Amino acid sequence: MSRKRTSILLFSDDKEISSSVQGALANLQGLKVKSEEVSVANLNGKAFDMASENDIVIFATDPENTADLSAIKQLNARRSQGTVFLALTDSDIPLARVRALSDAGVDDVLPYPISQDELSRQVDKWIKKLAASTMSLGDHEGVIIPVVQARGGIGSTTVAVNLADHLITRKGRFSKEVSNSVALVDLDVQFGSVGDFLEIDPQQALYQMAVGGVIPDAQWVEQSMTETEGGLHVLTAPQDFMPLDAINDKQVEVLIDALRRTHDYVVLDLPRAIVSWIQPVMEFADELIIVSDTTVPSIRSAKRLIDFYKGENPGLKVNVVINHEKKPLVQAHHHKEAARALDLKFENWLPHDPKAARMSVDYGKPLSAVAPRSDLNKAIAALAKSTAKAMPAAEHATH
Average confidence (pLDDT) over 60-79 = 89
Q: Is the pLDDT assigned to residue 235 strictly greater than 90? A: yes
The mean predicted confidence, pLDDT, of the chain is 88
Contacts made by residues 336-343, CB under 8 angstroms, sequence distance 24+? 338/294, 338/299, 341/299, 341/300, 341/303, 342/299, 342/302, 342/303, 342/306
Average confidence (pLDDT) over 177-185 = 83
Q: How confident is the model at residue 1 (pLDDT cuts 50, 70, 90)?
A: very low
In the chain, what percentage of residues exceed pLDDT 70? 92
Q: Structurally, how many domains does the chain consist of?
A: 2
Q: Are residues 221 and 119 in the same domain?
A: no
Per mean pLDDT, which range of 44-58, 59-73, 146-160, 376-390 is the poorest?
Answer: 44-58
What three-state secondary structure class fits 373? coil
Q: Are residues 108 and 165 in the same domain?
A: no
Q: Are residues 74 and 150 in the same domain?
A: no
Average confidence (pLDDT) over 92-98 = 83
165 in any annotated domain = yes
Q: Are residues 224 and 249 in the same domain?
A: yes
Between CA 365 and CA 360 the distance in angstroms is 5
pLDDT of residue 337: 95
Q: Assign residue 83 the CATH number of its domain.
A: 3.40.50.2300
pLDDT of residue 202: 86
84 in any annotated domain = yes
Of 133, 167, 191, the one marking the end of a domain is: 133
138 in any annotated domain = no
Q: Assign residue 167 the CATH number of its domain.
A: 3.40.50.300
pLDDT of residue 396: 45
Q: How confident is the model at residue 55 (pLDDT cuts 50, 70, 90)?
A: confident
266 forms bridges with which residues in the sheet?
144, 183
204 in any annotated domain = yes
What's the sign of the alpha-carbon dihedral 190, 194, 195, 197?
A: positive
Q: Are residues 128 and 159 in the same domain?
A: no
Residue ranges making up the domain that contains 182: 143-396
Q: Are residues 209 and 98 in the same domain?
A: no
Q: Are residues 370 and 272 in the same domain?
A: yes
Q: Are residues 163 and 258 in the same domain?
A: yes
How confident is the model over 106-131, as pLDDT tens digits? 988 898 989 999 999 899 888 887 77
pLDDT of residue 132: 64
Q: How confident is the model at residue 169 (pLDDT cuts 50, 70, 90)?
A: confident
215 in any annotated domain = yes
Of 133, 168, 183, the one marking the end of a domain is: 133
Q: Is the pLDDT assigned to residue 140 strictly greater than 70? A: no
pLDDT of residue 128: 80
Beta strands in 12-54 (DSSP E): 31-36
Q: Is residue 324 within 8 Å of residue 186, measured between CB atoms?
A: no
pTM of the complete model beyond 0.85 = no
Of 114, 133, 152, the one marking the end of a domain is: 133
Q: Are residues 386 and 239 in the same domain?
A: yes
Name the packing angle between helices 66-78 and 95-104 (round to 10°). 40
Q: Are residues 278 and 317 in the same domain?
A: yes
pLDDT of residue 361: 93
Q: Is residue 194 within 8 Å of residue 184, measured between CB atoms?
A: yes
1 in any annotated domain = no
What three-state secondary structure class fits 362? helix
pLDDT of residue 135: 46
Q: Is residue 120 within 8 Å of residue 23, measured between CB atoms?
A: no
Between CA 76 and CA 18 the distance in angstroms is 22
Q: Are residues 210 and 69 in the same domain?
A: no
Closest to 256 measured CA to CA, from 210, 217, 199, 296 = 217
Per mean pLDDT, which range of 18-22, 47-51, 201-205, 350-354 is the poorest?
Answer: 47-51
Q: Are residues 118 and 162 in the same domain?
A: no
Instruction: Select the more confidently predicted residue: 48 or 225.
Output: 225
Q: Is residue 208 within 8 Å of residue 214, measured between CB atoms?
A: yes
CA distances from 165 to 50, 154, 201, 303, 385 (A): 47, 19, 18, 28, 11
